[in-house]
Structure 1
Amino acid sequence: MKTWKSLLLGACAPVLLSACATTTPVLLTAETATPSPAAEAAKPKPKYGSFGFDTAGMDRTVAPGDSFYDYASGGWMKTTEIPADRGSYNTFGVLTDVAAERTRAIVEDSAKGDAPAGSDARKIGDFYASFMDEAAIEAAGLTPLKPELARIDAIKTRADLSRELGATLRADVDALNATDYTTDRLFGLWVAEDMNDTSKYRPYLMQGGLGMPDREYYLDASPRFQDLRAKYKAHIASMLELAGYDDAQARAGRILGLEIAIARAHWTVDATGDIAKANTVWSRADLARKAPGVDWSAYLQAAGMGQQPTFGPWQSSAITAISKLVGSQPIATWKDYLAFHAVERGAPFLSKAFVDEHFAFNSTALAGTPQQRERWKRGVDNTSGALGEAVGKLYVERHFTPEAKAQMQEMVKNILTAFGARIDRLDWMSPDTKAKAHEKLANFRVGVGYPDKWLDYSGLQIVRGDAYGNWERGELFKYRRNVAKLAGPVNRDEWWMTPQTVNALNLPMQNMIVFPAAILEPTFFDPDADAAVNYGAIGGVIGHEVVHGFDDTGALFDAKGNLRNWWTPADMAQFKTRSQALAAQYSAYEPLPGLHLNGNQVLGENIADLAGLASAYDAYHLSLNGQPPPVIDGFTADQRFYLGWAQNYRSKFREATLRRNVLSGVHSPGEYRAQTVRNQDPWYPAFEVKAGQGLYLAPDQRVKIW
């Protein structure tokens, strides 16, 4: 999706727009000029409709004030089926399918085998071709897994156990992403900036050890979860039987019992998101003193961190309690546990019997997904997982233009300016706190499309015909690259996301936001769409990521990304009061009978939606430079803006997936994200929303934070 040269916007490098944040913005004026009929005819048409919005997906029989989500997306909801290989489907899923097809062409071209040996293209092709070679995988059977199972079988002592646990540690978690804060390995590792001093790195240890998504799956006494636990136990036994273990039912019972004990130690999603509580620093000696049970010398030596002096136990009491289980539970039970999880992790790269059993529980039982994804889709995902930025280089060359990047950068600058103006207008914040907020905003750095510097994969060995080994070496390569960061200078421009990922990201300790190329597609962003729709859609996403720097988590980090209080006590009290009003509003939503959203669990994302959308609205009107916007197909500019936002979040869920998202996710379901408009004053006159309608809030009930 791009060319290799840096695409400069004024004096700003592509991932360093902060230098421009305090200067006069470059304002988009797409709607201010009146084109000639000939120019209008030659203008490229947007992908959706006449102005970039899918009007066919609306349901105009619904009043916007009763359900803006159904009004904007009800037609889409009625005609869209969730693909059989998905637990849910939404706008992100539509673009993920587009990115997958494009990535498929890249990896299949690379798999032809004519790229030079050792080149990234050759590695991409060999990884993908190996995964697609089902005959070779079937012939190998369990053989690829035997060395790890033999090591587990050889465990005799607690030191042996700790050594094996340390050897399986991987960099597969992210403390600031609550959808990725846990792992099926006993602990997870996240190497990132030290929150107290972002000029250096810290290794954060995260709770793990569970094969199901969250502690509630183990501890909830309701029939639904009792049934899932029974299915999980049967799944464990089936996996062990496939791997040749006898007495599988008894082993499965012991493994499930151990995981229930681990789950009792786990922090909830809410607690994990409490940054101040989680920001704990332990010395090497503290590990042994505060988390006895693990032989930490053996563990860390096997993990390649034998000389590391300090650690960040994110869920400190969970680390302590899980370590105690390592020292107290029978070694035989731990060996069974390690064997099962080794088989479970490796199953997608083993023979069909393992793949099918893995899918039956993890996708059908847990998410309600009836059909396994086509193998090429899994191959694309796994190749990107191992060689993400190498694939991303080729992706942006083919699918991301300099013009699209420049347009996005201008929108970002406008939204940063608009958010700065919103800070100035706050009537509840003191001048001192406002000055600190402006300092942070002025130091924002923004990545659009792709990173300036690509990862080097020269140290990763990919062997054609060795699907399991390629995956295993890819995981180990990523882990060692992260551990190596502990000895070097901090890379302030690390992206953490590949260009072919349909998502966006705020990095609080880097004070940076990132928009990968793959999300910069219709309906989120269409260079040929009406500016109002673009500002509502991708502008709302840009605003969302900007505001993450000032949400209930981001507000705790200063301009340098350090965890430092820059608020007056009175201002922080006001911020918390307003935030709790938003949490209460979302806690009233009931996606399934008896299952409400946890307003605090989803608070950060909803603050970002609330103020991000408001900032995008202001930026759109700034971009008009005082000129009146046109009415298009009977829709005013404000209507088009809010419809662009709503289109972002049209989505459908299978019940099991929705329940899982509500219990363990930090994002509200799409319906409730779309309806954040009820807190936006301009939305009411735009759609003539009146008292008595379902979404109507009196002015004093509309939550305003930023």
Structure 2
Amino acid sequence: MAGAPRRRRSSFHLPPAQGLESNVSFSTLKPLTLALAVTVALTACQQAQTPAVTERQAAPAAPAVDLANLKTPVVSFAAADLDPTVPACADLNAHVNGKWLAANPVPADRTTWGSFELLAERSLEIQRQLVEHMAADPGATGVAKMIGDVWATGMDEAAINAAGLAPIQPMLEEIAALSGPGDIAAYLRRSTAQGRMMLFGFGPEADFQNPGMNIAYATQAGLGLPDKTYYFDDRHAGIREAYLQHIGNILVLTGIEEAQAREMAKAVMEFETRLAKVSLSREELSRDVSKYYNPVSVAQADAITPNFPWSAFFESQGIAAPEMFSLAMPDFHAELSRMIADVPVATWQAYLRYQTVDGAAPYLADAFAEENFNFYGKVLRGQEEMQPRWKRVLNAINGQMGEALGQEYVKVAFPPESKARMQALVGNLGEALKVRLENLEWMGEETKAKALEKWAAFTPKIGYPDKWRDWSGLATSRDSYVGNLMAAIEFNYRWNLSKIGQPVDRSEWAMSPQTVNAYYNPLQNEIVFPAAILQPPFFDPNADDALNYGGIGAVIGHEMIHGYDDQGSRFDAKGSFSNWWTDKDRQGFEERTGKLIAQFDAYESIDGLHVNGKLTLGENIADLGGLAVAYDAMKRAQGEGFSDPMVEGFSQDQRFFMNWATVWRRNFKPEELKVRLQTDPHAPANFRAIGAPSNLPAFAEAFGCSDGDAMVRSEADRVHIW
């Protein structure tokens, strides 16, 4: 969730999930030695699950949770929030959200604030009550004991401060003992075996050509700034200077003398800049998923990286060398191999020392956590204050034991009737999408048949997994916060390794039930809706159809359409990476998506910076198609002879579009917004509120808009894809 002091990517990640919204910060590509969040991968690198899974069974009653007195208000569309001075036809976002946004600035411990954050706050309040109960129970066993141990040690600020660097001192001593290229390669193998990856990500994912089986993937990593462009673009010169200062400050805190630390920081910056030159940018990775699939034999990989033999690496991880794995971004790995040989050992030691300490900093003594926050929170993202410790500890628990906590969360926060209502909505959205696919005028029958085959294979998942993971084997204690997190990281990594060469478990989830988000997984062709998002303004079992279809209905449609966006459309009904398009139809598709790129390129956000239409293309396709499908589904649900109730003087069509805008009610800190414009595959919320409706004639009809109004795109510019 946004607002953590230092959110690093996990030890392994494929492309960001094709989800509704980015729910982690974009502070860095650096994989963590002590990472919290498991980044959701293309098919969803599952949130650290263990091999054994138990069927959902009747569990002991969850502890009492006071849902009636949560401090965070429910988010919902209200006519009183509307700004009559800005017509909907001029700016739907300002009309619906302007008054609320003006009255609700971003809190000091956040970088964004709006509908998603308010729901996340409510979720955190519930989670806090749950974990406090677990930690206070002296007879707790199993998952409850583990979560209670992490919570208790994480909340013990005095013990954490007293420990200083002691929890990671053995790692620093190991780094200090390195003496040559062979030692460096061996250290990278050993640290990876503990789940502490620094220079590359490694883990299982479905084979692009055989999505029923997991293979190993090795990906790029190692950078401390949000994207490779931060190392070279003149606009980011100030950030580079601040980052250089931060590296030095971290090294000083470890006991390095000031002048030496500053020289070491320069070497670390040069090291990362060299890596950045051969790294792919966020835009390149987001808009060409094929970059992640480069199947090679171990012998072929060894030839690419002679100073880091993969034959030795697989042996060090305790897994059999496979016939094939994906060495993604081979140019990156080739350069890393050269760096093992030609970068001085002292520079390697400086880099590894910094990476290790900074990765652990949010969980160490206050001086380390505050320095980490000062750069990644305050300087880079504009966050004024650190979040309170209880939220930071919950973020850590969610990063390493999210599904375990979710098992308790759904007992108190997700009634069965919500799941039943959602299933009906998903079914209705699916039928509406089918009709749209059948009636596409620009697509030929051959491609259309494949599109419908993919539609028929969609798998929806709602609320929570049907099977819960088994955590037996993870040992925690009340001795050390960092020790507990390190144990969980290694435990989760070992489990992930156990997937390599095994069939994909289609029952697994990439997000915990308490996550306010949703996603589409192209390798499994599934759409997934965690319990926490199934609240107003997205979903309310007591609300009228207009609000539910304009909220969660559009979300359902959004995730379905991801199966047909610029990257999802490269996977077939079975999840295989294959071309099921005729050349003519693909050309027609790209002509239409090109118009959408141009539309979002034209949106100016802040300080002359524009939205990147190519980077955000997949999400914009999903918004446009998802909103159109949701509107059709609402009309389908209303049926023949529908009599509009005109709630608060507004028609159902108007309320549908106004609730869509309510979903995207969101303020940003300027610094956060600038980072997102560079790195986030989602456009800023205000443009999402207006982008899709401006292409839909139904919106203009609902509000009586005229040609020439800002929210009405001309016939030549109007985008219609799905």
TM-score (norm 2): 0.87
- Structure 2 matches for 1:487-498, cutoff 5 A? 487-498=501-512
Alignment-derived partner of residue 177 in structure 1: none
Would the aligned equivalents of 1:91 and 1:523 in 2 still touch at CA under 8 Å? yes
Equivalent position to 2:243, from 232, 238, 248 = 232
Residues of 2 paired with 1:50 and 1:631: CA distance?
Answer: 23
Residues of 1 paired with 2:524 and 2:113: CA distance?
Answer: 32
Tell me which moved more, 656-665 or 329-338. 329-338
Would the aligned equivalents of 1:52 and 1:533 in 2 still touch at CA under 8 Å? no
Deviation at 1:306, TM superposition (A): 5.4
Residues of 1 paired with 2:682 and 2:331: CA distance?
Answer: 26
Structure 1 position 660 matched with structure 2 position 670: no
Structure 1 position 211 matched with structure 2 position 212: no
Alignment-derived partner of residue 288 in structure 1: 302
Alignment-derived partner of residue 448 in structure 2: 434
- Structure 2 matches for 1:424-503, cutoff 5 A? 424-503=438-517
Structure 1 position 83 matched with structure 2 position 102: no
- Structure 2 matches for 1:675-694, cutoff 5 A? 675=690, 676-694=692-710
Equivalent position to 2:711, from 695, 698, 702 = 695
What secondary structure, in the 3-state scheme, does the structure 2 residue paired with 1:251 have? helix
Deviation at 1:503, TM superposition (A): 0.5
CA offsets, 1:87-125, max 9 Å, x none? 1112111111010000000100101033434x1111111
Residues of 2 paired with 1:234 and 1:567: CA distance?
Answer: 51
Alignment-derived partner of residue 241 in structure 1: 252
The residue type paired with residue 149 of structure 1 is: L
Deviation at 1:171, TM superposition (A): 11
The residue type paired with residue 422 of structure 2 is: M
Equivalent position to 2:165, from 122, 139, 142 = 142
The residue type paired with residue 673 of structure 2 is: L
Equivalent position to 2:271, from 258, 261, 268 = 258
Alignment-derived partner of residue 125 in structure 1: 148
Deviation at 1:694, TM superposition (A): 2.0
Residues of 2 paired with 1:189 and 1:669: CA distance?
Answer: 31
What secondary structure, in the 3-state scheme, does the structure 1 residue paired with 2:475 have? coil
Residues of 2 paired with 1:186 and 1:275: CA distance?
Answer: 21
Equivalent position to 2:646, from 626, 631, 642 = 631
Deviation at 1:382, TM superposition (A): 0.8
Deviation at 1:190, TM superposition (A): 4.1
Deviation at 1:678, TM superposition (A): 0.2
- Structure 2 matches for 1:122-521, cutoff 5 A? 122-169=145-192, 185-222=198-235, 225-246=236-257, 247-273=260-286, 274-305=288-319, 307-521=321-535
What secondary structure, in the 3-state scheme, does the structure 1 residue paired with 2:697 have? coil
Deviation at 1:265, TM superposition (A): 1.0
CA offsets, 1:200-234, max 9 Å, x none? 11222111101111111111123xx2221111111
Equivalent position to 2:657, from 635, 639, 642 = 642
Deviation at 1:310, TM superposition (A): 2.2
Would the aligned equivalents of 2:134 and 2:140 in 1 still touch at CA under 8 Å? no
Alignment-derived partner of residue 122 in structure 2: 98
- Structure 2 matches for 1:593-604, cutoff 5 A? 593-604=607-618
Deviation at 1:157, TM superposition (A): 2.4
Residues of 2 paired with 1:471 and 1:636: CA distance?
Answer: 52
Deviation at 1:49, TM superposition (A): 12
Tell me which moved more, 137-146 or 309-318. 309-318
Would the aligned equivalents of 2:205 and 2:215 in 1 still touch at CA under 8 Å? yes
Equivalent position to 2:554, from 536, 540, 558 = 540
Tell me which moved more, 271-280 or 473-482. 271-280
Residues of 1 paired with 2:284 and 2:337: CA distance?
Answer: 19
Would the aligned equivalents of 2:215 and 2:325 in 1 still touch at CA under 8 Å? yes
The residue type paired with residue 237 of structure 2 is: Q
Residues of 1 paired with 2:166 and 2:685: CA distance?
Answer: 44
Residues of 2 paired with 1:253 and 1:583: CA distance?
Answer: 39
Number of residues paired by the alignment? Answer: 648
Q: CA RMSD in A?
A: 2.0
Cα separation, partners in 2 of 1:122 and 1:705, compared to 1, 3 Å? same
What secondary structure, in the 3-state scheme, does the structure 1 residue paired with 2:201 have? strand
Gaps of 5+ in 2: 1-70
What secondary structure, in the 3-state scheme, does the structure 2 residue paired with 1:514 have? strand
Residues of 2 paired with 1:618 and 1:566: CA distance?
Answer: 26
The residue type paired with residue 481 of structure 2 is: A
The residue type paired with residue 638 of structure 1 is: D
The residue type paired with residue 184 of structure 2 is: L
Residues of 2 paired with 1:498 and 1:277: CA distance?
Answer: 28
What secondary structure, in the 3-state scheme, does the structure 2 residue paired with 1:168 have? helix
Would the aligned equivalents of 2:74 and 2:536 in 1 still touch at CA under 8 Å? no
Give identity over the alignment, percent.
39
Residues of 2 paired with 1:680 and 1:657: CA distance?
Answer: 30
Alignment-derived partner of residue 720 in structure 2: 704
Would the aligned equivalents of 1:265 and 1:322 in 2 still touch at CA under 8 Å? no
Would the aligned equivalents of 1:51 and 1:529 in 2 still touch at CA under 8 Å? no
What secondary structure, in the 3-state scheme, does the structure 2 residue paired with 1:108 have? helix
CA offsets, 1:445-501, max 9 Å, x none? 011000011111112111113100111111112211111101432101221110011
Alignment-derived partner of residue 63 in structure 2: none
CA offsets, 1:138-193, max 9 Å, x none? 12111101111111112122122112223333899xxxxxxxxxx98210124211
Would the aligned equivalents of 1:170 and 1:475 in 2 still touch at CA under 8 Å? no
What secondary structure, in the 3-state scheme, does the structure 2 residue paired with 1:633 have? coil
- Structure 2 matches for 1:548-627, cutoff 5 A? 548-627=562-641
What secondary structure, in the 3-state scheme, does the structure 2 residue paired with 1:699 have? coil
Cα separation, partners in 2 of 1:398 and 1:497, compared to 1, 3 Å? same
Residues of 2 paired with 1:48 and 1:374: CA distance?
Answer: 16
Gaps of 5+ in 1: 1-46, 173-182
Would the aligned equivalents of 2:301 and 2:309 in 1 still touch at CA under 8 Å? no
Would the aligned equivalents of 1:502 and 1:518 in 2 still touch at CA under 8 Å? yes
Alignment-derived partner of residue 62 in structure 2: none
The residue type paired with residue 207 of structure 1 is: Q
What secondary structure, in the 3-state scheme, does the structure 2 residue paired with 1:169 have? helix
CA offsets, 1:487-528, max 9 Å, x none? 432101221110011110111001111100001111111111
The residue type paired with residue 116 of structure 1 is: A
What secondary structure, in the 3-state scheme, does the structure 2 residue paired with 1:446 have? strand
What secondary structure, in the 3-state scheme, does the structure 1 residue paired with 2:406 have? helix
Cα separation, partners in 2 of 1:475 and 1:366, compared to 1, 3 Å? same
Cα separation, partners in 2 of 1:653 and 1:50, compared to 1, 3 Å? closer
TM-score (norm 1): 0.89
CA offsets, 1:385-427, max 9 Å, x none? 1211110010000110110110011000100110000001100
Would the aligned equivalents of 2:246 and 2:371 in 1 still touch at CA under 8 Å? yes
Would the aligned equivalents of 1:100 and 1:377 in 2 still touch at CA under 8 Å? yes
Residues of 1 paired with 2:102 and 2:194: CA distance?
Answer: 41
CA offsets, 1:671-692, max 9 Å, x none? 1111120011100011111122
Residues of 2 paired with 1:217 and 1:56: CA distance?
Answer: 43
Deviation at 1:319, TM superposition (A): 2.5
Residues of 2 paired with 1:144 and 1:262: CA distance?
Answer: 29
